[in-house]
Structure 1
């Protein structure tokens, strides 16, 4: 009597090298990822964009996890975390970020945001200035340049064709889970938020990273003009060939830039990545360490 061999079931590949965990913050289930880095390492939290979870931030976050106590939460209302009735605006999300850090016992942190995550960081710095060491704003979104909604949809459509195809496999489930009603509400909150006013208030070292193929951002002249008005504490770096989701599409280059910024070192191309996208400064505040 012959028996058929049963194929071995391979273990499920972990979604991330970071630990996946749950906690409860103000009665809401919050899903997050956390590095096993010793707790005395500097804390760094990555803040996701519009309608998305923290999943697409992992390629960059994982590259920095050996040096920083790394956290990547899904903010309430996004991803796998629970929803909060009426909680979808920038001040609410900044408060949620602070409450999450309270839950994790973290007093001060460097915040790394992409897209909508950047206004959340600006609002966090506005209300909790003593709790943020540095800010990293990657592809900041919001404001008049993204209004009205049909214009933003067109920008997102163009951006979709410039991102790696695998980004859609990550983003689509998140967008579907987020839903249409939440999209309209969050878009209104995001585009009416005073991002420029908050940026001008910042008094901490701030890194802004943009891509030269990002249709959601104004041109480099406008970016340079805004940066020059920020009392010389802002460093702006541009990555050639990058669109909006830099944390996903160019994680090696972005992690390299962040390491240099955190160490107050000049921004130069990564010699370990020849042939990859070039990066260069387009503005450096005089109060930041010089490249000379």
Structure 2
């Protein structure tokens, strides 16, 4: 274990017979916030938002098995297997109950954990949830990914490119295909815990606004949908202050209609155009 001058520690956990690299802040109260990264990439790009949130709460940012600095795997783990691995990581850290904050692939993983072990999940935050019908067929999803690359901050390239190269293009294609066939929407609509879904206004992987409002009407009052107008897919990296403030307001019960919101953020009212 090592500690940096900002109060974060890095540690190597023994999980299911392999090593998992994990970053953890050391100060704060309430259930820990556990950040779950996207496919082909490590948790490093989630750190900007996690560092802001660490001002008041303990944050945990692992590299899932097979990703980043964690032990490579002989084959690509699917969503259920990654969810099981995440639960094992929580066990290794003695975390009984957590707020799960997923980005991209991290969202269906968080949903899978919440459905399989709801007693372990306080709340869900789903930032740019990927997978399912909006990314089908695979060719369409790949075009969406290519469009997003051009919209992300160039500052993310030194973090993302080495991770993607290490993960490998073949593994990336296999994992993205697994994402496109995963029933993300069905899991979201039946989320067993309060859920905040955060969409990027410039994210090509997200459904159009009319479809988002329709999903909101189907989901019910336990799901809150917010829009970061200028963000693409990786809002945790590109808009950490706005995202962190949005999450804090929601966790504190202050994210309500008419409440002051961070710049560039608005709530999506699914009932506005219901008639």
Query: What is the aligned partner in structure 2 of residue 199 from structure 1?
Result: 188
C-alpha change, 1:196 and 1:134, in structure 2 (3 Å) is same
From the CA coordinates, give the structure whose radius of gyration is larger.
1
Deviation at 1:85, TM superposition (A): 3.1
Q: Does 1:37 align with 2:23?
A: no
Q: Distance in 2 between matches of 1:165 and 1:184?
A: 23
Secondary structure at the counterpart of residue 72 of structure 1: strand
Query: Match for residue 52 of structure 1?
Result: 41
- Corresponding position of 1:238: 227
Q: Say whether residues 1:255 and 2:247 are aligned partners.
A: no
* Structure-1 separation of matches of 2:270 and 2:35: 23
Gaps of 5+ in 2: none
Unaligned runs of 5+ in 1: 1-13, 271-276, 286-292
Separation of aligned partners in 2, 1:207 and 1:118: 11
CA distance in 2, matches of 1:184, 1:165: 23
Give the total of aligned pairs: 265
The residue number in structure 2 matching 1:6 is none
1:63 to 44, 52, 58: 52
Q: How does 1:89-238 map to 2 (within 5 A)?
A: 89-238=78-227
Deviates more, 1:86-95 or 1:208-217: 86-95
Say which SS state the counterpart of residue 229 (structure 1) adopts: helix
TM-score by length of 2: 0.91
Q: CA deviation at 1:33?
A: 0.3
CA contact (8 A) 1:88 1:185 kept: no
Pair 1:120–1:215, CA change in 2 (3 A): same
Report the CA distance between 1:158 and its aligned residue: 1.3
Deviation of 1:21 (Å): 1.4
Of the three residues 274, 279, 282, the one matched with 2:268 is 282
CA RMSD of aligned residues (A): 1.8
- Secondary structure, in 3 states, of the residue corresponding to 1:63? helix
| Pair 1:22 & 2:8 matched | no
